[in-house]
């Protein structure tokens, strides 16, 4: 696919991603936005997204993101990136569906091709990697490369998850050639933590529980604790990755309360368990080694349900 060809006849184009945007979502949507701003100056292009975390403030034109929906707007084309289903285009799904043509670029195995035109590569590291292949290389400038590199490092955990391929590295290398500040991008958007974030991370680790002979680990953060520290879910990124690093652990589970008795659950595995399969049972999704879902219940009730599904997979594998 060539995105300029797909948008050839369009005059108004919308761009969006998934609810609670992560690094790949911000990187891929802003990458396309910056690309179109320079290469289609005639276009009325608008980006709709929930507010990204402050660690992404270095992304060019990030302040042009619109957080309010506009249901009266009819776009000629609307591109959604890094989003596996319509219900995750929150709160812009209606706006997206109003468009004359819808396009989806994604890498979630659970994606069911819900747009008019779909480019879904489940084996690829990130949607930013997918986006890169739809752009003319010579038209990619430093700003676009900054966005794409951001998406890649976030979804590969800085090139270490199993989704990282030779192509991923080649594209990252091409982005480096555009003169991006790659060390700063990694430090400031991926590793940097505020004092409060470190405190909550410490608390989550302190209160984590090992189970199944140390093969699984979980931790949770209640609304009460989030209110105490004055943070939202955006400040809790990285906790599940740290849990996953625990020696001997195969599956890490982290959850935080998003509403009264409702939790956002993150799952990570090292080598054996397919967490996308587990997330799918709860209407969530993701990838084999990183997936998530939202669910109502109590922490222990949810852990018991996930534990049973892990056990089921272990039985099938043995
Ligand atoms: P997270 O644990 O939120 O970092 O998500 C890990 C991976 O699973 C990311 O690629 C997410 O896009 C995906 N994911 C998380 N929650 C959901 C969900 N409810 N539905 C589909 N995919 C999800
Ligand atoms: Mn994402
Ligand atoms: Mn992604």
Give the model's confidence band at 318: pLDDT under 50 very low, under 70 low, under 90 confident, else very high. Answer: confident
Distance, CA of 106 to CA of 128 (rounded, Å): 9
* pLDDT of residue 290 exceeding 90: yes
Same domain, yes or no, for 60 and 152? yes
The answer on pLDDT for 90 being more than 90 is no
User: How far, in Å, from the CA of 176 to the mean position of ligand 1?
Assistant: 28
Alpha helices in 123-178 (DSSP H): 127-132, 142-156, 166-177
Q: Is 29 within 8 Å of 17 (Cβ atoms)?
A: yes
With a CB cutoff of 8 Å and minimum separation 6, the contacts of 226 are: 232, 233, 256, 257
Ligand 1 center–CA 38 separation, angstroms: 31
Q: How many residues does the chain have?
A: 318
Residues 184 and 237 reside in one and the same domain: no
Predicted confidence (pLDDT) at residue 71 exceeds the cutoff of 90: no
pTM, rounded to two decimals? 0.94
Distance in angstroms (rounded) separating the CA atoms of residues 43 and 9:
10
Separation CA 158–CA 283 (nearest Å): 28
Region 36-63: what's the mean pLDDT? 97
- Judged by its nearest atom, the ligand closest to the C-alpha of residue 293 is 1
Number of domains comprising the chain: 2
CA distances from 112 to 88, 106, 116, 293 (A): 13, 10, 11, 17
Q: Which residues sit opposite 79 in a β-bridge?
A: 15, 103
Mark whether 43 and 187 lie in a shared domain.
yes
Which atom in ligand 1 lies closest to the alpha carbon of residue 25?
A: 12
Alpha-carbon gap, residue 135 to 129, rounded angstroms: 10
Residue 186: pLDDT band with limits 50, 70, 90: very high
Position 250 pLDDT exceeds 90:
yes
Is 11 found in the same domain as 148?
yes
| pLDDT the model gives residue 292 | 96
CA–CA separation, 276 and 284 (whole Å) = 8
Nearest ligand to the CA of 243 is 1
pLDDT score, position 180: 98
Q: Give the pLDDT mean for 221-238.
A: 95
What is the arithmetic mean of pLDDT over 160-189?
A: 97
pLDDT of 308 > 90? The answer is yes
| Average pLDDT value for residue range 130-145 | 98
Domain boundary among the residues 145, 169, 191 is at: 191
Please tell me whether residues 236 and 147 are part of one structural domain: no
Name the pairing type of β-strands 290-296 and 285-286. Answer: antiparallel
Q: Strand 251-259 and strand 262-269: pairing?
A: antiparallel
Tell me what the mean pLDDT of segment 309-317 comes to: 94
Which domain does 309 fall in, by range? 196-317
- The ligand with the least distance to the CA atom of 266 is 1
Is 139 in the same domain as 245? no
CA of 318 relative to ligand 3 center, distance in Å: 31
Pocket of ligand 1 (CB under 6 A): 22, 84, 88, 108, 110, 266, 284-287, 290-294
pLDDT band at 88 (very low <50, low <70, confident <90, very high): very high
Nearest CA, atom 17, ligand 1: 292
Is there a single domain that holds both residue 18 and residue 142? yes
Q: What average pLDDT does the segment 105-117 reach?
A: 95
Last residue in a domain, options 191, 216, 240: 191
**Which of 283, 284, 292 has most ligand 1 atoms within 8 Å of its beta carbon, as the pocket-test mutant?**
292
The answer to whether residues 307 and 210 belong to one domain is: yes
- 51 CA distance to ligand 2 centroid (A)? 14
Overall average pLDDT of the 280-295 stretch:
95
Q: Say whether both 156 and 257 belong to one domain.
A: no
Nearest-5° Cα angle at 49, 194 to 154: 50
**3-state secondary structure at position 109:** coil
Residue 116: burial class (beta carbons within 10 Å; 0-12, 13-18, 19+): middle
């Amino acid at each position: 696919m060539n995105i300029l060809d797909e948008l050839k006849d369009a005059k108004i184009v919308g761009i969006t991603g998934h609810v609670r945007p992560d690094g790949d979502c911000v990187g891929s949507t802003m990458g396309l936005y910056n690309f179109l701003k320079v290469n289609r100056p005639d276009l009325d292009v608008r980006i709709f997204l929930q507010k990204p975390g402050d660690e992404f403030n270095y992304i060019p034109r990030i302040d042009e993101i619109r957080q309010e929906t506009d249901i009266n707007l009819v776009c000629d084309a609307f591109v959604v990136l890094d989003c596996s289903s319509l219900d995750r285009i929150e709160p812009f799904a209606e706006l997206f569906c109003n468009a004359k043509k819808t396009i989806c670029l994604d890498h979630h195995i659970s994606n069911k091709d819900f747009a008019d035109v779909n480019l879904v590569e489940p084996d690829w590291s990130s949607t930013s990697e997918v986006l890169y292949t739809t752009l003319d290389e010579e038209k990619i400038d430093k700003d676009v490369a900054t966005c794409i590199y951001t998406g890649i490092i976030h979804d590969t955990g800085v090139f270490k998850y199993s989704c990282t391929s030779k192509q991923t590295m080649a594209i990252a290398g091409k982005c480096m050639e555009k003169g991006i500040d790659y060390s700063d991008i990694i430090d400031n958007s991926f590793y940097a933590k505020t004092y409060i974030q470190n405190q909550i991370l410490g608390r989550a680790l302190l209160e984590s529980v090992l189970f199944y002979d140390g093969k699984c680990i979980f931790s949770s953060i209640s609304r009460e604790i989030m209110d105490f520290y004055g943070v939202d879910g955006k400040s809790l990124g990285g906790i599940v990755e740290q849990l996953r690093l625990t020696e001997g652990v195969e599956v890490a589970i982290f959850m935080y309360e998003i509403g009264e008795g409702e939790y956002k659950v993150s799952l990570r595995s090292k080598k054996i368990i397919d967490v996308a399969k587990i997330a799918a049972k709860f209407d969530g999704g993701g990838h084999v080694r990183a997936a998530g879902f939202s669910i109502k219940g109590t922490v222990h009730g949810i852990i018991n349900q996930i534990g049973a599904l892990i056990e089921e997979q272990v039985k099938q594998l043995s």
